């Protein structure tokens, strides 16, 4: 969950430069000043994030020697989807920033992909020394998948035909579940980053990119989404409160939801305004609200007129 915070400063850096980023080739001449600025900024962000998270979060938990932890069964794998999304978007944003320096295309792509894994590794390293958690091979696998999705597409197609996106709409917890949800996920902006019951992750495919001779609008995407619901604990809806009492809400069934919906690739919308290109690129991390067909593991099928 914490890795979502790392994406924010990098996105702000992208907003400052992407309007001036142009496609480059393998024979480009890098601007040494820009290379120095970007390398210094990303190094500072990495080191600063490491120090800040260690003091603000991990300092409150006991330390132990480096160890591993299998968290694959937790949160119906929603946290793994979050790792894929974050690594993909950090790689995409970082790749755009490196392209701005004028270095050749392949180097920019690989540096973007490496940045995605490197930023995510901050959390994994700190987890590995925390008695509360541990180094998760599955988290790192998700990180590599996210960064690999960016790198492979950029090398193969020189564009992102398939994007990993995010959407959020607050889940309306029943009154008897709200205290637990607030304890786990917080409220407001914190819940946007932490509440897995309210998040949906999407694989959004640009149709025109695969059918360039068709009349399909260049911006039209088809998206497949995933969400888990009614999770009041990592592995099960049973937890222990401070006085040692065990709360058992196994009566509340956890379930998975899958979606089919339409989406937009905002970067495919033609515009000559650099500031608008910047906005489109930044907002493109999010799936637009649209009608959606839901299939869930409770055996239900539901149509949403608008799904966020």
HEC sequence for the chain: CCHHHHHHHHHHHHHHHHHHCCCCCCCCCCCHHHHHHHHHHHHHHHHHHHHHHHHHCHHHCCECCCCECCCCCHHHHHHHHHHHHHHHHHHHHHHHHHHHCCCCHHHHHHHHHHHHHHHHHHHHHHHHCECCCCECHHHHHHHHHHHHHHHHHHHHHCCCCEEEEEEECCCCCCCCCHHHHHHHHCCCHHHHHHCHHHEEEEEEEEHHHHCCCCCCCCCEEEEEEEEEECCCCCCCCEEECCCCCEEECCCCCCEEEEEEEEEECHHHCCCCCHHHHHHHHHHCCECCCEEEEEEECCCCEEEEEEEC
Task: Say if pTM beats, i.e. exceeds, 0.85.
Answer: yes
110-114, 131-135, 289-293: least confident range: 131-135
| pLDDT value at residue 135 | 95
Tens digit of each residue's pLDDT (9 = 90 or more) over 54-65 = 776 777 788 899
User: What mean pLDDT value characterizes the chain?
Assistant: 89
Residue 24: pLDDT over 80: no
């Amino acid at each position: 969950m914490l890795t979502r915070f790392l994406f924010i400063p990098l996105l702000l850096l992208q907003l400052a430069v992407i309007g001036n980023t142009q496609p480059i080739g393998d024979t480009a001449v890098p601007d040494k000043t820009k290379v120095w600025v970007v390398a210094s900024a990303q190094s500072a962000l990495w080191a600063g994030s490491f120090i800040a998270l260690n003091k603000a979060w991990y300092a409150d938990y006991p330390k132990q020697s480096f160890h591993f932890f299998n968290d694959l069964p937790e949160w119906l794998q929603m946290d793994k989807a979050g790792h894929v999304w974050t690594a993909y978007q950090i790689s995409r944003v970082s790749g755009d920033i490196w392209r701005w320096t004028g270095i050749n295309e392949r180097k920019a792509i690989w540096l973007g992909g490496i940045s995605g894994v490197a930023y995510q590794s901050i959390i994994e390293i700190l987890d590995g020394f925390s008695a509360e958690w541990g180094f998760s091979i599955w988290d790192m696998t998700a990180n590599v998948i996210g960064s690999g999705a960016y790198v492979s597409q950029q090398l193969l197609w020189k564009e992102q035909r398939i994007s990993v996106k995010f959407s959020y709409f607050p889940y309306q917890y029943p009154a008897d579940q709200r205290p637990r949800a607030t304890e786990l996920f917080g409220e407001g902006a914190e819940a946007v980053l932490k509440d897995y019951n309210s998040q949906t992750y999407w694989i959004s495919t640009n149709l025109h990119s695969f059918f360039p001779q068709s009349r399909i609008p260049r911006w039209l995407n088809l998206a497949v989404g995933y969400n888990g619901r009614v999770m009041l604990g990592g592995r099960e809806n049973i937890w222990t409160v401070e006085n040692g009492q065990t709360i058992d809400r196994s009566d509340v069934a956890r379930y998975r939801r899958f979606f089919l919906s339409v989406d937009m690739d905002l970067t495919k919308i033609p515009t000559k305004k650099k500031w608008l290109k910047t906005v489109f690129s930044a907002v493109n991390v999010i799936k637009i609200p649209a009608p959606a067909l839901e299939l869930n593991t409770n055996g239900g099928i539901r149509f949403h007129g608008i799904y966020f």
